[in-house]
Amino acid sequence: EDAQLTLVEYVDFECAYCAHATGSWDDLRAHFGDDLRYVVRHLPHHPHGPIAARASEAAANQGMFWPWLDFVFTRQHALEREHLIGYAVELGLDVERFIADLDSTAVIERVERDLASAVASGAHATPTFFVEGRRLRGSYDARTVTAALEASRRGTRTQEVPS
């Protein structure tokens, strides 16, 4: 909450480009530490995107969002409901709670809010990054995103991404 910088990324768990960008997360968190607030929002547009987004929120409810993200992006070929439940088992989640959350109104509404935010911010594809409310264009490798965040830290803050 006290982070100096905010990075918002819109993702779809079935998006190959999103999977490629996942290597940047650990690098960015290592570089910026608590100075970076890294926000992941859902923009599911592939067939399994919606249920995979809900599954990530169900994992987040058990404090396992980042491990889930890393795990599932290496398994994009298998995102059916039964696969996702199996991943919950592999990651040691409370499976009954995971299933209940997967189908809960709160989780469904969370994903819908992210979709509305994407529309409001002009994000139509994944991955889409916003640094301090400003859309990042071009490459999404760790070096490019780090440079954009460092430039933002030296510059002025812009408007927030619509919530």
List pLDDT tens digits, range 25-64. 888 888 999 999 999 999 999 999 999 999 999 999 999 9
Helix (H, G, I), strand (E, B) or coil at 63: coil
**Domain-by-domain residue ranges, the chain?**
5-154
CA 91/CA 68 separation, integer angstroms: 8
- Banded model confidence at residue 143, pLDDT cuts 50, 70, 90: confident
Helix (H, G, I), strand (E, B) or coil at 10: strand
CA 73/CA 16 separation, integer angstroms: 8
Burial level of 23, CB count in 10 A (0-12/13-18/19+)? middle
**Residue ranges in the chain assigned as alpha helix (H):** 16-21, 23-32, 49-60, 65-73, 81-90, 95-102, 105-121, 142-154
Instruction: Measure Cα distances from 148 to 18, 49, 59, 62, 140 in Å.
Output: 18, 28, 30, 32, 10
- Architecture of the domain defined by 5-154: 3-Layer(aba) Sandwich (3.40)
Mean pLDDT of the residues in the chain: 91
List pLDDT tens digits, range 12-24. 999 999 988 876 7
